[in-house]
Amino acid sequence: GSHILSVSQFDRDSVSRILEVAQAMIPYASRQKRCHVLEGAILNNLFFEPSTRTRISFGTAFQLLGGFVHETVGQESSSLSKGESLFDTARVISGYSDVIAMRHPDMHSVAEFSKGSTVPVINGGDGANEHPTQALLDLFTIQAEMSRFDKGIDGLNIVLMGDLKHGRTVHSLSRLLSLYKNLTITLLSPKELQMPAYIVDVLTNAGHKVNITQTMAGNLNSDVVYQTRIQQERFTSLAEAEQYRGHFSLNKSVYQQYCKEHTVIMHPLPRDARPEANELDIDLNDNSNLAIFRQAQNGVLVRMALFALTLGVDEKLTQYEKEVTW
Ligand code: CP
């Protein structure tokens, strides 16, 4: 197996295969059956930046396939804090592992780490650069949600909104979306937090219609609205981030006014729960088109698929199936 560092490494066929294997994981993730295809394998989960969903769903996914998980949380608990290089750290930890998942605050740090690793490394987010497994679970979610309306991914009208400058999930998702056909993508953000030009170029060069705007009216009338959090940890000061808070709030009244009847709402989470942030109001929690918790749940399926593909056991799942005994 090889590393998963960037979504740029995938073509449309490889993405389809990942989504197909993710779909095949439903019986195991929903506990209808067990699968022990990775029995005895060890995942080292290295999270040098905070995480709830990515870290825990990576671990859960690996355990659902029968493997063991070992976790390192925070740079202060690792000898990186004594000045050890990412290369040496990787060379050592890969000797203890069959696969490594890693998150780190610096852009391209996971790629640097992977050079020292003797086993596959999966990027769980490297600064503002990429979050490839999130983009794959987002794409899986778009496909699953749209299947309710007999739609595929080609031809969709999708809004990406919020902090598009620092949000690595929207960077990775845009790259993946560029593999599809005839999309209309609206990039809705404060001027200072616009999508980087190199990502806009990826979309336009792939022939998609890209609409850059600061207005909600007329633009949320889409198949999917993907909201993001102001990435305060990527600003030079908290005060700088604060000025953008509450700019483009999505709530019940905005949904009724601007969205279509069945616009699906996504968000990579975490959402900022402080009332003044209000990026995705809890008054939408009872809206059946709010996909955020299904989206987070799909993270387990997609990460199971990535482990199975990376370790070459994707065609052996049924062979290692067991009944649920509890
Ligand atoms: N979506 C996401 O990456 O969440 P965490 O930061 O909690 O892992």
CA of 296 to the centre of ligand 1 (A): 9
Helix axes 86-94, 109-116, angle to 10 degrees: 50
Burial string for 158-179 (b: 16+ CB within 10 Å, else e) reads bbbbbbbbbbbbbbbbbbbbbb
Instruction: Return the CATH number of 132-295, one of 3.30.200.20, 3.30.70.260, 3.40.50.1370, 3.40.50.300.
Output: 3.40.50.1370
| Spans of all domains in the chain | 7-130+299-323, 132-295
- Residue 234's pLDDT band (cuts 50, 70, 90): confident
Asked if 16 and 304 count as a contact pair (C-beta separation under 8 A), the reply is no
Q: How confident is the model at residue 238 (pLDDT cuts 50, 70, 90)?
A: confident
Distance 231 CA to ligand 1 centre (A): 12
Q: For strand 321-323 and strand 33-35, is the pairing parallel, antiparallel, or unpaired? A: antiparallel
Pairing of strands 121-126, 99-104: parallel
DSSP string, 6-72: -GGG--HHHHHHHHHHHHHTHHHHTTSEEE-TTTT-EEEEEESS--SHHHHHHHHHHHHTT-EEEEE
Going by CA atoms, what residue is nearest to atom 7 of ligand 1?
Answer: 52
What pLDDT shows up at residue 325? 92
Helix (H) or strand (E) run with residue 265 in it? strand 264-266
Q: Is the ipTM of this complex over 0.90?
A: yes
Q: pLDDT tier at 177 (50, 70, 90 boundaries)?
A: very high
Ligand 1 centre to CA of 293 (Å) is 12
- Ligand 1 centre to CA of 156 (Å) is 25
- Ligand 1 probe mutation, 136, 269, 292, 293, most atoms within 8 A of CB: 269
The CATH number corresponding to 7-130+299-323 among 1.25.40.10, 3.90.230.10, 3.40.50.1370, 2.40.160.20 equals 3.40.50.1370
CA 286 from chain centre, in angstroms, equals 23
CA distance 227 to 128: 16
- Domain 7-130+299-323 and domain 132-295, same fold? Reply is yes
Cα(first)–Cα(last) distance of the chain, in Å? 34
Residues with CB under 6 A from ligand 1: 51-54, 125, 134, 268-270
Q: How far apart are CA 226 and CA 160, in angstroms?
A: 5
Q: What is the DSSP letter of 185?
A: E
Report which ligand 1 atom has the smallest distance to the Cα of 299.
1
DSSP 8-class letter at 10: -
Query: At residue 185, what are phi and psi to the nearest 5 degrees?
Result: -115, 125
User: Tens digit of pLDDT for each residue in 250-286?
Assistant: 999 999 999 999 999 999 999 988 888 889 999 999 9
Single-letter amino acid, residue 87: F
Distance in Å, CA 322 to ligand 1 centroid: 31
Ligand 1 mean position to 139 CA, how many Å?
Answer: 16
* Atom 4, ligand 1: residue with shortest CA distance: 53
- Mutation pick for ligand 1 pocket among 51, 58, 137 (CB with most ligand atoms within 8 Å): 51
When pLDDT is averaged across residues 276-300 and rounded to a whole number, the result is 95
